[in-house]
Amino acid sequence: MSPFQGYRGDAVLAGVRSRKRVFASAADEPVTAAAVPKRQKRRKEPSLDALPDECLFEVLRRVRGARARCASACVSRRWLALLAGIRASETVLAPPAPAVPDLNQEYLGGEDDDEEEADLMDHDGDSRERTFEGKEATDARLTAAAVAGRLASVSVRGSHPARGVTDAGISALARGCPALRSLGLWDVPQVTDAGLAEIAAECHALERLDITGCPLITDKGLVAVAQGCPELRSLTIEACSGVANEGLKAIGRSCAKLQAVNIKNCAQVDDQGVSGLVCSATASLAKVRLQGLSITDASLAVIGYYGKAITDLTLARLPAVGERGFWVMANALGLQKLRCMTIVSCPGLTDLALASVAKFSPSLKLVNLRKCSKVSDGCLKEFAESARVLENLQIEECNKVTLMGILGFLLNCSPKFKALSLAKCIGIKDICSAPAQLPVCKSLRSLTIKDCPGFTDASLAVVGMICPQLENVNLSGLGAVTDNGFLPLIKSSESGLVNVDLNGCENLTDAAVSALVKAHGSSLAHLSLEGCSKITDASLFAISESCSQLAELDLSNCMVSDYGVAVLAAAKQLKLRILSLSGCMKVTQKSVPFLGSMSSSLEGLNLQFNFIGNHNIASLERQLWRCDILA
């Protein structure tokens, strides 16, 4: 008998009521959930979120490749947190490839895919370097960046006011990026020793550590770094009130490759910490910067004796260090390799101390003195005679230094001396009578006399006579200098001037600029006339005719107009890379066609504070699409 016999009306299915088909049109109202019987509700699809953390952890640690890990991190905060807790050592490696490939499987890529995934986290630059700044500096962002596990350099600048970077984010970074080589934490107040300890436990290849404005980091965190990061080469600690001496001593004992140390504004650091660090790292320490510390003459004595590898030394704002400290540091005969020395706001640096340093530091090439109120003309002659390989001397806000002392220095300086800079020195002013013997310093190539209000035409004319081989001249802020002083300098220069900065020389006129470009137009590469309010289109006409190597021209706040811009644009031999017309009130929208026709070599154009207009700026951006326009 057929199994379907009696299907309709048969006694077997007599009690089963046949269902009518229902056809729903688009206009019909949707069936609400309440109308559907509970037994007809579809069963919920199974989800990985139903798994406990332990099981999901086992799943996620088997995810391979940066692309897959990043995709998994985007699923939920829970997945992101679990991925952040997986150490590199806990990931499950891929099984070995079978001897005979399975041709039925779809090809999913190989080792090259991992290389392509390296730039997933940062498409704008090197994916191995990331910077988190301001409101972007949060634990979530730091954790997401660490998931890929490829970062080598991380900088955190500032922190989100409500969700800033904490130990949790630093710990995730340590677990995800064991190959981290550089870490900078600037103004991150919620990071403590626990976060630094995680870095020390996981990132054994760390070479650079910069901690600035982290008050909760103490010696305990530095001791952990000393024990876990033997490859550390550079250490910067600034404004960390919790750091004292024990951490620095531990760093010195354990980090045998330490080359650079910068300790700044740490109130608890004193002679014990600095001395212990320098004594232990004597073989490798090459660069030392100490600023705003409570150290005394004892620390300088240790530096002078044990600093046998130091080549760069900066001492700033050390009020407790006296003349005796500098004298002992020099006479200890340990700074034989010292090449660069910077002293800022140290009342203990006197004429005797400076002469001693020059005498017993035979390799000294650069000296920078700022706000050293006790340095005067008395030591400059002896300093010049002792520093026989000195190439660069920079003096700023040392008001006892006068032009007579500088002339005495130039008369006795080394034949290798190349650069002299005098800035904000009130004592640098015109002398009543010139010395009987004027020095001739043919080795000097670069001269900066900046913001010295007493320096006028008479002194500038003398400079031209004693420095005939100048190539770089910076006279910024010398408002008293006029054409009468600048023209002799131009005429006496036997070597072609390359870089000339006349920023703020408001009394110079077109005559001086015309003479400059006619005499040195074939060598002039950089010319700044910012704030020279007497410069007009006549100077631009001279520049367009005489300059063939000019690459940078600053005409900010000058009296040039649209005609001058047109002249510059028409000069075919000019290959300007940077042009500034900021504050040129006579430059209007009429200049737009000329600016748009300028050479393709133009890379930077400053059009701030003039009357060109935003619409014309947009047009220029389309024409000069390779150029960075600031408006």
Cα three-residue angle 123-124-129, rounded to 5 degrees = 90
Specify the pLDDT at position 126.
Answer: 46
Phi and psi of 462, rounded to 5°? -65, -40
Residue 304's nearest CA partner among 235, 359, 350, 259 is 359
Four-point Cα dihedral 224, 227, 229, 233, nearest 10: 100
The answer to whether 206 and 231 have CB atoms below 8 angstroms apart is: yes
| Same fold flag, 79-85+128-269 and 496-630 | yes
Distance CA 588, CA 618 (A): 15
The answer to whether 94 and 44 have CB atoms below 8 angstroms apart is: no
Specify the pLDDT at position 74.
Answer: 67
Helices (H) and strands (E) in the chain, counts: 22, 20
DSSP reduced 3-state for 182: strand
- Given a cut of 50, the residues of the chain with pLDDT beneath it are 1-31, 33, 35, 106-126
Four-point Cα dihedral 73, 74, 80, 83, nearest 10: -10
Domain ranges of the chain: 79-85+128-269, 365-484, 496-630
> Which two three-digit tokens encode residue 628?
């960075």
Specify the pLDDT at position 92.
Answer: 60
Specify the pLDDT at position 99.
Answer: 53
The answer to whether 504 and 477 have CB atoms below 8 angstroms apart is: yes
Residue 309's nearest CA partner among 343, 336, 342 is 336
Residue range 470-521, pLDDT digits in tens? 999 999 999 999 999 999 999 988 889 999 999 999 999 999 999 999 999 9
List beta partners, residue 287.
260, 312
Specify the pLDDT at position 557.
Answer: 96
Distance CA 562, CA 594 (A): 9
Residue 195's nearest CA partner among 171, 231, 223 is 171
Specify the pLDDT at position 101.
Answer: 55
> Which two three-digit tokens encode residue 69?
């890990």
**pTM, full prediction:** 0.82
The answer to whether 604 and 577 have CB atoms below 8 angstroms apart is: yes
Residue 380's nearest CA partner among 371, 367, 362, 365 is 367
From its phi and psi, is residue 213 left (phi > 0), alpha (psi between -120 and 50) or beta?
Answer: left
Pick the CATH number of 496-630 from 3.40.50.800, 3.40.50.150, 1.10.287.3510, 3.80.10.10: 3.80.10.10
Residue in this structure with the two tokens 């760390």, named with its chain if needed:
206
Give the contacts of 95 (CB within 8 A, at least 6 positions apart).
none
> Which two three-digit tokens encode residue 622?
């389309």
Q: Which CATH architecture describes the domain 79-85+128-269?
A: Alpha-Beta Horseshoe (3.80)
